Structure 1
Amino acid sequence: YATKTNVSAAQFGEGSFDKGIYFTIPLSALLTRSTPAMGVFTYNPLVRDGGAKLNRYFPLFDLTGVRDPRALSIVPGKQE
């Protein structure tokens, strides 16, 4: 894969793009029985990828959204 970004070299670090190799191997090809498992391998010599989607199990927004001051919050009601 290759990713090109419009971030400046000063912010990005190593130029304005990132590159690497990503592949999967079905483990059924290596085992004596059938399995849906896959071996996933990623190699990227530079770890700074300004245009990459985060590889996270949980979306980052769900983890940080509660810290947003614009998020819905519970406040005490007005006393009469």
Structure 2
Amino acid sequence: MACSARPGWASRSRPLSGGEAEGPARSGKLRLVPVAGSVAGAVFGGLLLGAIPGIVLIPGLALIPLISAFKTARHAAPAKTTA
């Protein structure tokens, strides 16, 4: 089966301009923050697992991405207009 995607579709079609010139340096910083948060969360979660029973800890940790998704969806929703 042939792939319908165009070759090079993900490549940049225009040169960098203005503030985009520091893109790779910025994206490195943007990757570092989530990685550090994930590592810290894994360590902290591992420590909590010894102090708090898993039956309580797992549902509590599951609420974190649910709350984040709710906040993101609420923030991304278009504003209601009144007629």
Give the alignment's TM-score, normalised by structure 1: 0.31
Higher relative strand content = 1
Where relative contact order (Cα < 8 A, 6+ residues apart) is larger, the structure is 1
Higher relative helix content = 2
Give the alignment's TM-score, normalised by structure 2: 0.30
